[in-house]
Amino acid sequence: MDRELYLPKELCADEERREAAGIPGERIFQTKHELGLAMLGRAFDGGMRPQWVLADALYGSSYDFRKFLLDRDQAYALAVNSQQCITHELNQVKVKEFVKTCRMMRGKGFLQGLEPKANAGMSGRLQNYAGLRQRG
């Protein structure tokens, strides 16, 4: 689909290293979610319309990233960290508290599974999953 090279802030700020690596001087530091937004923007502008956009908590915890998808009426499934706030039944609640509520609802919209570690099979952290239907 697309690609962007993530450059650490330190490298972007070091003119000598940037020049030695052949990185253009006008290249500025961008966070990973900013690079992701740029790539998705190009894809959408080019006519691509995926059924879903999936992303990990790095992107899911970015308000700008979620708003970009919502503004385009794009279906998505994004991981978020447990401190992230969501709106549920017109209330702001931390994901950690929402997951506790889901457990009390005897599994309605709630799954639990292992997050695989890279190259380590299924020996990762236990993860909780909950699904919310976003109303536009």
pLDDT tens per residue, range 11-47: 988 999 989 999 888 889 999 999 999 999 999 999 9
The C-alpha atoms of residue 136 and residue 131 are separated, in whole angstroms, by 16
Torsion of CA 120, 122, 124, 130, to 10 degrees: 140
Backbone angles phi, psi at 36, to 5 degrees: -60, -40
What is the pTM for the complete model shown? Answer: 0.68
Task: Give the span between the Cα atoms of 26 and 52, in whole angstroms.
Answer: 33
Confidence of residue 119 (pLDDT cuts 50, 70, 90): very low
Quick one: which H or E segment has residue 93? strand 91-94
